[in-house]
């Protein structure tokens, strides 16, 4: 799967959130300063070329929808992060976040419970 630039990911987040959207919907949902309609259109063309979105044409207007799910993208990103920074070790990654975020015992217990429930 190809990587997304920051701007591409910002637009994909809106498409994932909305499910399907016209360019105007995306522009309206993005934070200020709002990008120009043509800028969003160009980014959507790139996203289509990368295989992240497709569209349905209604006259001269396009409604975009995700082809790659947010879960698939998250998995790819986390796997990449795991490989690059944590020697492919979930233990190293979780230990890093536990130290960095000053996790309390309740949060640690929730993670352990989640891990155990996924193992059954």
Q: What distance in Å separates the CA atoms of residue 70 and residue 52, rounded to the nearest whole number?
A: 10
Structural domains for the chain:
6-66 (1.10.10.10), 70-119 (no CATH)
CA dist 106 and 6 (Å) reads: 34
- pTM here is 0.81
Average pLDDT over residues 88-100: 83
Both tokens assigned to 103? 């996790």
Q: What share of the chain has pLDDT > 90, as a percent?
A: 68
Number of Cβ within 10 Å of residue 62's Cβ equals 18
Q: Across all residues in the chain, what is the average pLDDT?
A: 92
Average pLDDT over residues 62-66: 98
Instruction: Pick 24 or 114 by higher pLDDT.
Output: 24
Question: Do 44 and 53 meet the contact criterion of CB atoms below 8 Å apart?
Answer: yes
pLDDT of residue 34: 94
Give the pLDDT of residue 66: 98
Q: Spell 18-52 as b/e; 16+ CB within 10 A means b.
A: eeebebebbbeebeeeebeeeebeebbebbeebeb
């Amino acid at each position: 799967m190809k990587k997304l630039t920051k701007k591409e990911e910002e637009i994909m987040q809106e498409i994932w959130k909305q499910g399907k959207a016209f360019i105007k919907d995306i522009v309206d949902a993005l934070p200020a300063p709002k990008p120009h309609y043509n800028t969003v259109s160009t980014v959507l063309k790139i996203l289509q070329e990368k295989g992240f979105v497709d569209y349905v044409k209604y006259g001269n207007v396009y409604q975009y929808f995700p082809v790659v799910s947010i879960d698939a993208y998250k998995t790819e990103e986390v796997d990449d992060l795991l490989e690059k920074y944590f020697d492919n070790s979930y233990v190293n990654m979780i230990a890093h976040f536990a130290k960095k975020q000053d996790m309390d015992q309740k949060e640690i217990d929730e993670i352990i419970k989640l891990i155990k429930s996924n193992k059954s």
